[in-house]
Amino acid sequence: MNFLIAALSLGFLGSFHCVGMCGPIALALPLNKTSKVARVFGGLIYNLGRVITYSLLGALFGLLGKTFVIAGYQQSLSIAMGILLLVVVFLPENKLNQLRLKGEIFVIIGRIKSSFSKLFQKKNYASLFFIGLLNGLLPCGLVYLGIVGAIATGDSLKGAAFMALFGLGTIPAMLSLSLISNSISLNARNKIRKVIPGFVVIMGLMLILRGMNLGIPYLSPKMSETDCTEHSCCHKK
């Protein structure tokens, strides 16, 4: 439950970062400007597309995390993901830039962006939905943090839930931006952006504590023998 709250909080706080990164897309959405209800509904359809993509990514990476759980590395995985979050926060920006994906991934991103231009020409709910789906695939540091959390859940369904709540947390700011472009001041965005690294550090420490198996309720619960996987139990027989 703590990590589901963390997912929602990460999405909400991080959404003010999204305003700067994905703001141009949200502002350019082909929304119906003649009806306020249709405009709001269109904005929700676009955001629904993003949440669905995030959920699918969460399921995929949660499944990846499950392979570590089956192999008996659940605690090690949680600690590793926590350390990774701390590294992301404290590693100098110039070092992070060197780790950016290169090569064919940019070809794929280019194709996604070219699809945007075609969808923006169509003013209907279907195009808004598909713009949201594609938007969820664009490179985003905040989404990468969410994916780390999904991997740490060690479960496909929990990973999907983590990323779904993460996506839902971003909706208030992103929907407001689509409807009222000047609703969030630059000063407010900058203040909230300063909070995000601190929250990521807390999330990283929570993952590390969880993996340490210290027997602290909610923070680092003690795993019982019944928690062992079929794979590990089979070796004990």
d(CA 75, CA 223): 10
pLDDT for 190 equals: 67
Task: Chunk the chain into consecutive blocks of 10 residues (it has 237) and report each block's average pLDDT, rounded to whole numbers.
Answer: 78 75 74 83 92 96 88 80 82 57 58 77 89 86 86 91 93 80 59 73 82 67 48 43
Global pTM exceeds 0.85: no
Contact yes or no for 54/146 (Cβ under 8 A): yes
d(CA 214, CA 208): 11
**Residue 228 half-sphere exposure, CB side, CA atoms within 13 Å?**
11
Report the candidate in 225, 205, 220 with the shortest Cα–Cα distance to residue 75. 220
pLDDT for 54 equals: 96
- Spell out the domain ranges in the chain: 2-236
Contact yes or no for 150/159 (Cβ under 8 A): yes
pLDDT for 222 equals: 63
Phi, psi for residue 220 in degrees, rounded to 5: -145, 70
